[in-house]
Chains A and B, each alone.
Chain A
Amino acid sequence: MTRRWVSFALIAPLLAFLIVSFIVPVLLMLARAVTDRDLDRTWPASAAALRTWDGEGLPPDALARTVAREMLAAHRAGTLNRVANRLNYDLVGSRSLLYTTADRLAAGAPGETLADLARIDRRWARADIWTVMRHADGPLTSYYLLAALDRRIDTGGHILRVPREQAVFVDIFLRTFKIASLVALFCALLGYPVAYLLASLPRRIANPLLILVLLPFWTSALVRTAAWAVLLQTNGVVNDLLQYMGLVDAPVQLIYNRLGVYVAMTHVLLPFFILPLYGVMKGIDPTAMRAASSLGAPPLLAFLKVYLPQSLPGVAAGAVLVFTLAVGYYVTPALVGGGADQMISASIAFYTSQSLNWGMAAALSLLLLLPLLLMLFAGRTMVRTVPA
């Protein structure tokens, strides 16, 4: 009992550090996927009025007046951008609508009735802007998560698909998981023999070879990706070689498409598969294989029955590691992929750093994180069920 407490005390600082610097910020960020405080914090009276409004048709004059007053006050306080950007996510054009209206109100235009607002801009006489405001009155929202699944909610509360030309995230998610799975598979096919070789060679030869596996870590992933561009381009080394050997007549498109993504990502991630597998293979007792042979098993059967099952935890660990890293990739697909090879982290990066739509970034992150956690859990169970 005391020993357990001592060991807990030893890891307590690390745990506290992780909670403060990692877990709490991640949860705070993910919370943005379901919370919606921009409007109700900036326009509290309007948010309250929107909640009591039945949402049928156009709003009463009292609500329009409250909105106009708080719009002007927020404009003067320099906080109008919060509401303007939030409404614009849902209804493009709302941003300039709010700013031009606030400018006109500040210049003395009346804002006492809905008709007054409609005189400033006739879009105020349409139901859609009011519906969007009503959906944004917080404190919780389904908007971001639905949008991340190419869905939206209509005035009547029904969940609909977004128009086809706007539907993109489901495709990108499926593509991301497909690319990551295949990269993990390619790493397994290429990495297993290498790890086996490293584990079975005498240390004197294996160590220099291991350094060769580690060597790419000394070069940035960006440089390695750029190097593939040189090799795989239309007039590049690989195409020249293929034509010289007479395998193809004209250059083949090897890059700026999915093939380029697979090649570059498999190369960049291969060490992450080999190393954990090598660690596991080193722990496999070589006498077990000899025992199998002495009992009459041919080499292939001995490998399948004795060696492979014992090495599977390493395969699972390597595959999970590669898959997890691969779903987060976006620089490599951006540099060697084509139009149809963008992965979900590129969208997350866009919303985080370019457009400041952190609710959307959080929703996409949450949808990426959940399958990953499930997979990690499945990976653990798989490793556990493998007979030791």
Chain B
Amino acid sequence: MMTRRALLALLAPLLLASCGSGSDLRPLTVVGWGGSSQDAHRQAYWSAFSRTTGIPLREDSWRGGVGVIRTKVMGGDTSWDIVQVETEDLILGCEEGLFERLDWSALGGREAFIPTAVHDCGVGAMLWSYVIGYDGDRIKGAGPRNWADFWDVKRFPGKRGMRKTPKYSLEFALLADGVPPDQVYPTLRTPAGIDRAFRKLDEIKPNVVWWSSISQVPDLLGSGEVVMSVTSPGRLVVANRTEGRHFKLRWDGNIYAVDYWVILANSPRKQEAEQLLRFMTRPENQMRLARFIPTGLTNIEANRRVDPKLKRDTPSDPANMTNALELDADFWVEYGDQLTQRFNAWVAR
């Protein structure tokens, strides 16, 4: 009797442990970017999905970087099913076989989505941009109109907030230097073009506060640490709504990109993940997302039917897309290492 009880006591933790790690016992797990973006997705999709299908959902959040997923897949960690990724992550992860190839016919066909949202391994989740943001309470009147004004520290004295990465910074420098949007990446693909971008950055460098997390931007602008900043519109729009701020956005020469949903190749719940993917990309559901966060939609019909007022602070409004530039993820996959190295050396000098 005693020995059997001892044996049970020994085995119980093992049994529990094997249950805990048994991925077929955990609910379908969806991974977003946290913060207001994740809140919006929950309100627009996830609660309704669980309610209508009876499939329980577990949430997790991450800060991007396909290496995180590679580590999980290599290490046999199957805790995530469906993840929101950036374009470079999508390209690298798809090549490595980290993601499932999507069944596009089940999603309504490739032509139901804007072209940039369609990829063998991923479907566009949201369309977002980097734009110029400034505080209307500090810069009265006209304000900066474009990147040339952003560079003009005589007319607009004060510091500028920029993201501490070569990505976006080099593109904006060339736009400020008068390179037409469609020539930015061809120019950056030449050594002379890269030199030109860094020379333009030299001009503004003493006046830059480099931020590394987008969550810093509302504070930097709100406290007056910087007078204008590279920013994504979402947080400033939310701050205007909830904190009575008067942040303004300038869309001229914005860089836009798509974030994608992918299903991990080692997901033990692929069918449910596909079900969730279909749910999140249906037009009637995507239209709801725009209510909770200012974002461009990827489903063409959703874009047609959504209230035009909700498009105002998004890349889906044609009025915002003057001189706009689509992020060239292939360029950054190829040049990212070299330019990050050079940028880090430059920024420290």
Q: Select A256's contact among B210, B335, B336, beta carbons within 8 Å.
A: B210
In the assembled complex, which residues on chain A have CB atoms less than 8 Å from the CB atom of B219? 229-230, 233
- Judge if B344 is at the interface, Cβ distance under 8 Å: yes
Contact B224 A234, beta carbon cutoff 8 Å? yes
Distance (whole angstroms) from the CB of B58 to the closest CB of chain A: 22
Contact A166 B345, beta carbon cutoff 8 Å? yes
Give the total of A residues in contact with B, Cβ under 8 Å: 42
In the assembled complex, which residues on chain A have CB atoms less than 8 Å from the CB atom of B330? 96
Distance, CA A146 to CA B277, complexed state (A)? 45
- Judge if A357 is at the interface, Cβ distance under 8 Å: yes
The residue in chain A whose Cβ has the minimal distance to the Cβ of B346 is A165
- Judge if B243 is at the interface, Cβ distance under 8 Å: no
In the assembled complex, which residues on chain A have CB atoms less than 8 Å from the CB atom of B341? 166, 168
- Judge if B271 is at the interface, Cβ distance under 8 Å: no
Distance (whole angstroms) from the CB of A50 to the closest CB of chain B: 23
Distance (whole angstroms) from the CB of B194 to the closest CB of chain A: 9
Contact A165 B337, beta carbon cutoff 8 Å? no
Distance (whole angstroms) from the CB of B270 to the closest CB of chain A: 19
- Judge if B96 is at the interface, Cβ distance under 8 Å: yes
A155-166 interface code vs B (CB 8 A; 1 in, 0 out) = 000000000111
Contact B334 A81, beta carbon cutoff 8 Å? no
The residue in chain A whose Cβ has the minimal distance to the Cβ of B161 is A256
The residue in chain B whose Cβ has the minimal distance to the Cβ of A342 is B344
- Judge if A134 is at the interface, Cβ distance under 8 Å: no
Contact A353 B65, beta carbon cutoff 8 Å? yes
Taking chain B's interface residues, is the majority helix, strand, or loop, or is none over half, making it mixed?
helix
The residue in chain A whose Cβ has the minimal distance to the Cβ of B336 is A355
- Judge if B225 is at the interface, Cβ distance under 8 Å: yes
- Judge if B342 is at the interface, Cβ distance under 8 Å: yes
Distance, CA A230 to CA B97, complexed state (A)? 44
Give the total of B residues in contact with A, Cβ under 8 Å: 40
Contact A357 B337, beta carbon cutoff 8 Å? yes
Contact B334 A95, beta carbon cutoff 8 Å? yes
Kindly specify which of B48-56, B66-74, B281-289, B299-307 makes contact with the partner chain. Answer: B66-74
Distance, CA A11 to CA B73, complexed state (A)? 31
Contact A347 B66, beta carbon cutoff 8 Å? no
In the assembled complex, which residues on chain A have CB atoms less than 8 Å from the CB atom of B92? 81, 85, 356
Contact B348 A166, beta carbon cutoff 8 Å? no
Distance, CA A89 to CA B334, complexed state (A)? 9
In the assembled complex, which residues on chain A have CB atoms less than 8 Å from the CB atom of B209? 256, 338
- Judge if B223 is at the interface, Cβ distance under 8 Å: yes
- Judge if B11 is at the interface, Cβ distance under 8 Å: no
In the assembled complex, which residues on chain B have CB atoms less than 8 Å from the CB atom of A165? 198, 342, 345-346
In the assembled complex, which residues on chain A have CB atoms less than 8 Å from the CB atom of B88? 354
Contact A171 B348, beta carbon cutoff 8 Å? yes
Query: Which chain B residues (99-122) contact chain A, with CB distance < 8 Å?
Result: none
Knowing that A85-B92, A171-B345, A335-B212 touch, tell me 13 more A-B residue pairs with CB under 8 angstroms. A78-B95, A81-B95, A92-B338, A165-B198, A166-B345, A233-B219, A233-B225, A338-B209, A347-B344, A349-B65, A353-B65, A353-B66, A354-B67
Closest 5 pairs (CB-CB, A-B): A353-B65, A339-B347, A353-B67, A81-B95, A168-B345
Chain A residues packing against B (C-beta within 8 Å): 78, 81, 85, 88-89, 92-93, 95-96, 164-168, 171-172, 175, 229-230, 233-236, 256, 334-335, 338-340, 342, 347, 349-358, 360
Q: What are 17 of the A-B contact pairs (CB < 8 Å)? A: A92-B334, A92-B337, A165-B346, A166-B345, A172-B344, A235-B225, A256-B225, A335-B212, A339-B205, A339-B210, A347-B344, A353-B66, A354-B64, A356-B66, A356-B67, A356-B96, A360-B337
